[in-house]
Amino acid sequence: MIFIPGKIVGIVTFPGVIVHELAHQLFCRIYKVPVFEVCYFQTEDPLGYVVHEKPSSDFQATMISIGPFFLNTIVGFLLGFPATVQYKFHNANVLDYLLIYLAVSIAMHAFPSTGDAKNLWEHITGKNSSILSRLLISPIVGFIYLGALGSYFWLDALYGAAVALGLPWLVIRWLA
């Protein structure tokens, strides 16, 4: 198995980092949680971040933390679909390959980061969270950490390829 440091992968796939942080900011706006600072991309650790006020509910905190999963997946699929159509019909050109790069890069950054998991865990273990919230949200935090562990085995890249190439290919096959 090839080992490439995550920072290098993040720099090569920087469009995904940007959309990931944009998703956090978007979900903050949706839930009216004030945002104090945003860094969409930098070459230092972390590659990007959003500093915001503490959400008022466990649901808001959860949605802000997992928002990139939804936005990056949708954007990755939408960018990959037209390129996959062209590739399937042997009409792909340089623009299609650029779209595939963007789609895979964006979709592979759909998984929330360990920082997102840490923030969510701190929120639900606070004194204002109910037992029910802790029971429902704790597995989400666990899955986020499992996803981070899976990135050592290229799970994020496989997910990105599946969303950007595999899912559009299945849709094309189903419609054709």
Q: Is the dihedral of CA 77, 25, 137, 16 positive or negative?
A: positive
Over the stretch 23-70, which tens digit does the pLDDT of each residue have?
999 999 999 999 999 999 999 889 999 999 999 999 999 999 999 999
DSSP type of residue 55: P
At 3, is the pLDDT very low, low, confident or very high (cuts 50, 70, 90)? low
What pLDDT, on a 0 to 100 scale, did the predictor assign at position 64? 98
Q: Is residue 101 part of a domain?
A: yes
> How far is 123 from 151, CA to CA, in rounded Å?
25
Residue 174: CB partners within 8 Å, gap ≥ 6? none
| pLDDT of 89 higher than 70 | no
Say which amino acid occupies 105. S
| pLDDT of 126 higher than 70 | yes
- Quick one: 1 exposed, middle or buried, by C-beta within 10 A (0-12, 13-18, 19+)? exposed
Phi, psi of 38, deg, nearest 5: -135, 135
Q: State the residue for tokens 């592979």.
A: 108
Q: Is residue 49 part of a domain?
A: no
> How far is 102 from 171, CA to CA, in rounded Å?
19
| pLDDT of 1 higher than 60 | no
Q: Is residue 123 part of a domain?
A: yes
Structural domain boundaries enclosing 68: 56-175
| pLDDT of 137 higher than 70 | yes
What pLDDT, on a 0 to 100 scale, did the predictor assign at position 85? 80
Q: Is residue 153 part of a domain?
A: yes
What pLDDT, on a 0 to 100 scale, did the predictor assign at position 9? 86
Q: Is residue 2 part of a domain?
A: no
Q: Is residue 41 part of a domain?
A: no
Over the stretch 9-25, which tens digit does the pLDDT of each residue have?
888 999 999 999 999 99
Q: Is residue 44 part of a domain?
A: no
| pLDDT of 98 higher than 70 | yes
pTM of the predicted model over 0.75: yes
Q: Is residue 26 part of a domain?
A: no
Q: Total structural domains in the chain?
A: 1
> How far is 148 from 111, CA to CA, in rounded Å?
8
Indicate the length of the chain as a whole number: 176
Q: Mean pLDDT across the chain, nearest whole number?
A: 92
Mean pLDDT in residue range 165-173: 91
